[in-house]
A and B are shown apart, each in its own frame.
With several copies, the nearest count.
Chain A
Amino acid sequence: MALPFEKPIDDLSDRIEDMRAYASEQNIDLSEEISLLEGRLERLQHDVFENLTRWQRVQVARAPGRPTALDYIQSVFETFTELHGDRTLGDDSAMVTGLALLGGRSVVVIGQQKGRDTKENIGRNFGMAHPSGYRKAMRMFNMADKFGLPVVTLIDTPGAYPGVAAEEQGQAWVIAESIQRMSQLKVPAVAVVIGEGGSGGALAVGVANRVLILENAIYSVISPESCAAILWRDASQAPKAAEALKLTAGDLLELGVVDGVIKEPVGGAHRDPQATMRCVGARLEEELGALSSLSETELLEQRYARFRNMGRLESVT
C-alpha cells in the first residue's frame, strides 16, 4: 500500500522494529542506537514530506487509506442522517448528502465519495458523479436555503463522470446549474478539498464562501495524466504535467484559488486519519463560526467577489 517515495521511510521503520525485536530477544540494550535511528526517521519523514514533488502530492492525494468524505462525515459530524435522491433521475452514491450536527450546529453536508476499498470504489463510481449527483446537491442547496442551514461540502473526485448517459442527461448543464445555484446560497458555505479536486466536477460543489484544501490535496482543471496526453501525447509524462499545472495546496493558495491550507500529520492524512479529521473538524467549526456573523447580503456579496476576481490579467499596452 506504500507509495514509492514512502519506501525509504518504511524501510527505516522496519529496521528500527527489527532492532527492537533483536534487542528484546537477545536482552541487550540498543536504546541509544534505536534513538539515533528514530531521530533519523523523523528527519527523513520531514525531508521527504516537506519536499514532495507535485506529482508525489498527487499520489498522496489519491493514496489508499486516505480518509474519504464519509470518514469525515462519520467522524467529524454528529448524528449524520443521509438524504437520498435528486427527485428526478436517481440517487448517485458518488455524491453523499444529508443533515448533520457540526459543533452543535445543524448543517447540510455534501460529500463526494470515493470507495474505501475496490468494491466500494466500484459502487461509488470512483467518486465520479453523474448529473443525478449534482441534482441531488442542488436539492440540498435548496433545503439549506429554506431552513437557513450552513452548507459544508467535501470535495474528492477525479471529475464528473464522462459517460454516455451522463452526457445525455446534460452533465455540462447540471454542473453549470450547480455552480450557479451554489453561488446564490443565502447561507454560509465552506468547501474543503480533502483529496482530489477534479475540474468542473469538483467546482460544481466548490462555490463556497471559504474554500479550504488539505496540505496534500490537489485541485486542478485537468488531471496530470490527461494534460500530459494532450501536451506530449504521453500519459506517462504526468509528473511533468503535475509540475506545470501547479495543482498543490501551496500553489493554489498563492493563486488565490483557495483561502487556506489545512496541515496534515507528517506522512500524510492516510498515515493518521483520525488526527487529520480532527483538524478538519476544528477548522470547519471555526470557519462556520466566523461566517455566521455575516448577513445574507454579505454572504452573497462575499461569494460573488471571491469568484468574480479569479484570474490574472495584464493591460494591453
Chain B
Amino acid sequence: MALERWFRRKRPTRSDDNSPAGLWLKCDECNAQIYRKDLEKNLYLCTECGHHYKMPADARVAMLADAGSFERWSGTIKGADPLAFEDTEPYVKRLERAAERQKRPDAILTGAASLQGEPVALAVMDFFFAGGSMGSVVGEEIARAAERAAREGRSLVTVAASGGARMQEGALSLMQMAKTTVALEALSRAKLPFISVLTDPTTGGVTASFATLGDIIVSEPQALICFAGPRVIQQTIKQDLPEGFQRAEFLLQKGMLDDVVTRPNLKARLALYLSLLRGTLTPTATAAVGGEPGGAAV
C-alpha cells in the first residue's frame, strides 16, 4: 500500500518518489520506455499501451475544468496535530515537507469550475500528498465543497485517490468519513448531482464514505478500489486472491460502478451525466426522434 510506503520513507529520494520525475520511465504494464514529458502531455497515460498512471491533482483539474474557469477554494486551512503524533518523525514535520513539495497544505484541491459549461465544484484528491490520506483538512475541504456547491447551485464532482484514513489524526480522521457523508445531504436536498470518480487507488475510509455515495460512480481502468487492501485480505484468508480482484473492471461486474471510463473520455462523459441529470442537455436534433431515427451513441 502506498500509504505504508509514505510512512516508511523518511526523506524521499528522487527514485522512490511517487510523483513523475526523472526523464524516462519504464511502463509497469508494457515495459516500454516512455519519455516522461510525453507521459505528461498524454494525460499520464502510457504512450504505448494507454496504462493509466496516477495523475497529479493540478493536471486533473486542468483536464476537467473548461479553460480558465477554475477558481480555487481550498488552501486556506491546514492540518493541526491533535494527537501530537510521532512515529519515526513528528506528524507536523511530515505535513510540512509534503506541503512544501506539493505546494498545497493537504491532500486535496477544491474549487469552482465549469465543465463543458456545466457549473461544478471539483474536489480532487492529491495522492502524492501523504498517499491521499484523509484527515481533518481533506474531510473539511470536501464537506465545504459539497455545501458550497449546494449553495451555488453547482454539481459536485470528486476525484478520489487515497490510501485511506490519516492515522496520525486518530479517531478524528475516522470521523471525516461521517463528516464528508453528512455534508452531501445539502446537495441531495438541492437535487444537485454528485458524481464520484474513483482512480487508482481508492481505499479504506475514502471508499467507505463520500466516494461511493455518488449518484453516479465511475472509475478509471484497472484502478484498485477497496475497503481492506489486498494484503490485509490475503493475510486473513491465506489464499491467492481472484484474478482482477478489487480492480475497477471486477467491481463493475459486481454491480458497484456505473461504468469504467478511460481518461480521454472522462470529461465528455461527466458532462453528459451532468447535463442529463440536470436536464440541461440540448438535443442535437430534436426533430430526429419523430422523424428518422438519430444516431444515438450507446
Q: Which residues of A contact B (CB under 8 A)?
A: 70, 73-91, 99-106, 132, 135-136, 143, 146-149, 160-164, 166-173, 175-177, 179-180, 183-184, 199-200, 203-204, 206-207, 219-222, 226-227, 230-233, 244-247, 251-252, 255, 257, 274, 277-278, 281-282, 285, 303-304, 307-316
Contacts and interface: CB of A to CB of B under 8 A. Distances in A.
Given A175-B227, A231-B87, 19 more contacts: A78-B296, A90-B255, A101-B281, A106-B278, A146-B191, A146-B215, A171-B208, A176-B212, A179-B181, A200-B208, A251-B171, A255-B82, A278-B290, A282-B289, A311-B179, A312-B80, A313-B80, A314-B77, A314-B78
Nearest to B215: A143
B23 to A, nearest CB: 32
18 contacts: A73-B296, A79-B276, A82-B298, A83-B258, A84-B259, A91-B253, A99-B276, A99-B277, A103-B289, A106-B281, A143-B277, A162-B228, A163-B233, A172-B226, A200-B174, A255-B170, A311-B176, A316-B75
B167 interface: yes
Contacts of A79: 272, 276, 281, 283-284, 296-297
A90 to B, nearest CB: 4
Interface stretch (B13-21, B51-59, B65-73, B236-244): B236-244
A85 B204 CA distance: 21
Contacts of A173: 208, 212, 256
Listed from nearest, the 9 A-B pairs whose CB atoms lie closest are: A311-B136, A162-B228, A85-B255, A310-B175, A172-B207, A172-B227, A75-B293, A312-B80, A221-B174
A236 B250 CA distance: 35
Contact of B208 (A176, A207, A252): A176
B296 A88 contact: no
A87 B246 CA distance: 14
B7 A231 contact: yes
Contact of A104 (B233, B269, B286): B286
Contact of B191 (A74, A99, A148, A171): A148
Contacts, number: 317
Given A103-B289, A162-B228, A311-B175, A170 B254 contact: yes
**Which of B204, B227, B256, B276 has the most CB atoms of chain A within a 10 A radius of its CB?**
B227
Contacts of B205: 199-200, 221
Interface in B156-179: 165, 167, 169-179
B254 A76 contact: no
B105 A316 contact: yes
Contacts of A84: 252, 255, 257-259
A103 B290 contact: yes
A77 B272 CA distance: 14
**Which of B241, B275, B289 has the most CB atoms of chain A within a 10 A radius of its CB?**
B289
Interface stretch (B29-37, B120-128, B182-190): B182-190
B135 A311 contact: yes
A147 B174 contact: no
A78 B288 contact: yes
Given A147-B277, A167-B233, A313-B137, A183 B191 contact: no
A313 B135 CA distance: 10
Contacts of B273: 81, 99
